[in-house]
Structure 1
Amino acid sequence: MEMELAFSGWSGIFVLGLYGALMLGVGFYAFLRNRGMRESLDEYYLGGRGLGVMVLFFTFFATQYSGNTVIGYPPAAYRMGYHYLVSVPFFIMIIMVYLFFAPRLYALGRRFRLLTPVDWIDLRFRSKRVTVLAAILMLYGLANYLLEQFVAIGQGVSGLTGGTIPYQVGVIFFIVIMVAYSWLGGMRSVAWTDTIQGLALLFGVFTLLLGSLYYFGGPAGAAEQMQASAPEKLSPPEGPALMRWFSLLVLVGIGAAIYPHAVQRIFAARSEATLKRSFIRMAWMPFLTAGVVFMVGIIGIAAFPGLSTAESEQLVGIMANALANQHPFFYWAMVLLFGGVIAAIVSTADSVLLTFSSIISNDLYGRYIRPDASEYRKVLTGKLAGLVAVVILVLIAWYPPATLYQIFVLKFELLIQTAPALVLGLYWTRLSERAVFTGMLAGALLACLFTFLGYRPLGIYSGLWGLVLNLAICVGGTLLSGATEERRRHASEVIGFRY
């Protein structure tokens, strides 16, 4: 498709350089402000457990709504039509799941100085095999999510500059910036940049929607286009499609709520009241973010009909370039959108990298390899392990293996298998560590098998079949042979709740 490039040469490079300098400046500020405490695990990974309401809200927001939301969701809506309206309620589902377990987990995190979700699982079950398996599944989910963000960075830069800045150059540039400021300031620099990035994201998506409505028309034109070429995109899901819709709702609602980097933000809150106020603000965001980008995808059906799957992955960039050619105001608005989209992507990647490093340094290296290591040594080990993971994932992202949507779903299949240990363990003292380990392992293996075979009985995602098996083993195994009296007493002391 021929199109005059909206962002060419110096304008795109200027935005990239400005954003990179701003993020590095935040990292240096965090480094200088807290240089006396930078060797502390609490300070580096949790920001000293002192994040206030607005910073906590924006770091949750920028982590939850990121590159996949802005770059990946409109193409999915373009391909699926109104079936993809599920993207709004599953963000609501995430908040509901948060409210079920987050306040209780926060209180335990304060009481026992928990650093990561794996820390909680180890405290609750006192089982090396449960802890290591949970760490492996979480690291897989984090690595998968980090890969998703790297792909989104490259596609965002390439699409929004009309190819002026190549995909690979965009990936490398922002990864170097991200690693630099994360190393300098840890959670504080990540949370502060998340605040900037969250504001940029809100501005960007609303500007894109308003411009699209003005120049490309509203949903009515898209409905006419769908009625003529793909009427199934207008009809509500039925039968297998309805089951897939529901299973995606459950899969993402639970899976995203137990993101390790999101759970770590629970521990970083200044107080329980701060945490709850942040969640109240988050409750509005599904409509203001997921709903907005869904409408952008629907409008794109009429504005640019007939795009292939590969072409539709560049939909946001195509629409931004087209708007920028209409009027000088929208040119500069789309330049700012360019920075906002990249900012949103990087904001999630830095959070994921930080939590990935913390699980390596605290839960594996510090607990099993070098228990006597100093906190400085643990932090350094986490940084180096994160750097190695970044290099490996960049090599994979160089030629991305799947669409963003496929990458997005894949990570939940295994991550969600940690939910019974993480959440049930908060309330059920009888829960057996043997049943938890067996259920987690069996659920992960079943999810892998179904995913590998492409088998989806009743249209339900393989991760949910694994979770059903996982829960059945956890509950059934515990009822048949519960935890020993000693372990039950320990659980009661930890969670202060007897079933």
Structure 2
Amino acid sequence: MNPMNDSGVELAFAGASGITVLVAYGLLMLGVGVITWLANRGLHQSVDEYYLGGRGLGVMVLFFTFFATQYSGNTVVGYPPQAYRVGYAYLVSIPFFITIILAYLVFAPRLYTLGRRLSLVTPVDWIHHRFQSRALTTVAAILMLYALANYLLEQFVAIGQGVSGLTGGTIPYQVGVVFFIVIMVVYSWLGGMRSVAYTDTMQGIALLFGVIMLLVGSLMYFGTPGDAAAIMAANTPEKLAPPDGPGLLRWLSLLLLVGVGAAVYPHAVQRIFSARSEATLKRSFIRMAYMPFATAGVVFVVGIIGIAAFPGLDTAGSEQLVGRMASALANQSAIFYWAMVLLFGGVIAAIVSTADSVLLTFCSIVSHDLYGRFVNRDAAQSRQIMVGKLVGLVAVVVLVIIAWYPPATLYQIFVLKFELLIQVAPALMIGLYWTRMSRRATLAGMVIGAIFASALTLAGLRPLGLFNGLWGFLLNLAICVGGSLLLPPSMAEQNRARELTHV
């Protein structure tokens, strides 16, 4: 995914300006890490402080760290081309993010309360407390770590391609990857969650500013959605038509897969535990409720306007739509020139902000849930944190090697991210409310659902056009519920679950 010049589109602002902005972003992020470390040196031996920011993130910081986690740079550069190709049917991209917020509201406030009472650090931590099953905890951790590694690899590839594009190829892909990953590892290592959250705030503001300027410039110089509608009516009327029956079914399956799957992303769930209070968490979610319209809605409109700005682009050409529009706007005035430079710098910074969150949670699951719980129960918290840092560093090196020259043969393996991650949702969400949920049925459902979804995906099958992760999830759910009803846990286990989940 190179949003700027894979097909030879020459950006008016690429080159020296792009290098200057990227170096400035990198140094600023590094500075945040150093300042955070200096301000909290004595506290970083604590798991709560390092992984959760001392459970003290306020409304604004928590909002922006949720925002940066949910909306990566791909939202800005990847969604407009899709809207360009699909037309108004791609309005579904807005409900994607609304569904995620709805899923959060189902379980986040209750999980936050339990997180405070039980001192939970990760979502795996909750599953272990709820079901007291080593096998279930391990399987959940493996599925989450796989999804996190998958997501991290995607971000590394996107960083390198974005840097290369913004600088007009002056900075090669591999150099861009290494430069930003080293900075990310350093500030994450130094400041933990506080560094990540503060850089998320900076990057979220930059991204929002750039997106708004892109919309304003598009409306000023390229026309309105009405102009684009006239072009679609004349040349591609199907882009104005509502989706058909199978299309609606695919919409629904994707909404469920993404809505539930993204809501249980481990790095997103971990932010629930980082909130200063339940009221802080709820106020952050209230602000997040507007962001599907302010972000996904805005870039959807940009994609539609792109039909009027650059009609007739093929698939490869449409992938460069945002770069083409930004380049044209940069030629209009100095204000838009620098706004577009900041936009693409913000896109890359947003990708980094997603990667740092993922890396921190990856380390926390390894150190707290696996090493601290199963390998060395007596390990001091400082030792757990160091183990997580070292394992995370090894994982980064391995993923950078893969990202150096991304092999096409890995594609089928790495498309399994949501298909596998959504299988932890029943244990994580239903376990909060249903005390009769059996650990054996939950484990069987999670394993069988993951295997079934993987098998369908690797075989290239998609029954009824539904996404395979959803098929696995439905099978998982049936086994969890049916198995728990047929072979319920003992009364002692049910009483323990009732006492544990009481809020």
TM-score, normalization: structure 2?
Answer: 0.94
Contact preservation (8 Å) 1:24, 1:181: yes
The 5 Å alignment of 1:329-408 reads 329-400=335-406
Structure 1 stretch 482-491 or stretch 157-166: which is displaced more? 157-166
Give me the whole-angstrom Cα distance separating, in 2, the residues matched to 1:158 and 1:315. Answer: 17
Match of 1:95 in 2: 101
Q: Quick check: 1:68–1:149 contact (8 Å CA) kept in 2?
A: no
Does the 8 A contact of 1:159 with 1:318 survive in 2?
A: no
Whichever residue aligns with residue 179 of structure 1, its letter is V
**Which of residues 23, 26, 36 is equivalent to 1:17?**
23
> Which of 207, 212, 215 matches 1:206?
212
Q: What code does the residue aligned with 1:39 have?
A: Q
Question: Could you tell me which residue of structure 1 aligns to residue 465 of structure 2?
Answer: 459
1:488 CA displacement:
1.4
Q: Distance in 2 between matches of 1:96 and 1:230?
A: 34
Q: CA offsets, 1:225-268, max 9 Å, x none?
A: 43444332221111211111111111111111111111100001
Any conservation in 2 of the 1:366–1:378 contact (CA below 8 Å)? yes
Partners of 1:231 and 1:430 lie apart in 2 by 53
1:290 alignment counterpart: 296
Offset of residue 99 of structure 1: 0.9
- AA partner of residue 349 (structure 1): A
Asked whether the 8 Å contact 1:62–1:194 carries over to 2, the reply is: yes
Mark the CA change 1:151 to 1:303 in structure 2 (over 3 Å): closer, same or farther. Answer: farther
**1:18-417 paired onto structure 2 within 5 Å:** 18-400=24-406, 410-417=416-423
Deviations 1:349-407 (A, max 9, x none): 111110011001111111111212111111111111111222222233334467xx999
Cα displacement (A) at 1:65: 0.9
**Partners in 1 of 2:296 and 2:423 — Cα distance?**
26
Offset of residue 57 of structure 1: 0.7
Instruction: String of CA shifts for 1:453-484, please: whole Å, max 9, x gaps.
Output: 22111211000000100000000000001112
Q: Report what 2:4 is aligned to.
A: none
CA distance in 2, matches of 1:231, 1:398: 42
1:442 alignment counterpart: 448
Tell me the C-alpha RMSD between the 2 structures. Answer: 1.9
Using the TM superposition, give the Cα deviation of residue 164 of structure 1 relative to its aligned residue in structure 2, in angstroms: 3.4
Identity %: 73
SS in 1 for 2:42: coil
User: How far apart are the structure 2 equivalents of 1:165 and 1:216?
Assistant: 31
Unaligned regions of 5+ residues in structure 2, if any?
A: 1-6
Which AA in structure 1 matches 2:288?
A: M
Task: Report the CA distance between 1:409 and its aligned residue.
Answer: 6.5
Distance 1:115 1:3 in 2: 46
Whole-angstrom distance in 2 between the partners of 1:168 and 1:318: 24
Letter in 1 for 2:455: L
- TM-score normalised by the chain length of structure 1: 0.95
Q: Decide which moves more: 299-308 or 129-138.
A: 299-308
Of 373-382 and 349-358, deviating more is 373-382
CA deviation after TM superposition for structure 1 residue 336, in Å: 1.4
Distance in 1 of aligned mates of 2:198 and 2:324: 31
Q: CA deviation at 1:274?
A: 0.6
Find the partner of 1:484 among 479, 490, 500: 490
SS at match of 2:373: helix
**More deviation, 100-109/293-302:** 293-302
Letter in 1 for 2:362: F
Conservation of the 8 A alpha-carbon contact between 1:50 and 1:270: yes
Q: Whole-Å Cα distance in 2 between the matches of residues 23 and 67 of structure 1?
A: 16
1:418 aligns with 2:424: yes
Secondary structure of residue in 1 paired with 2:43: coil
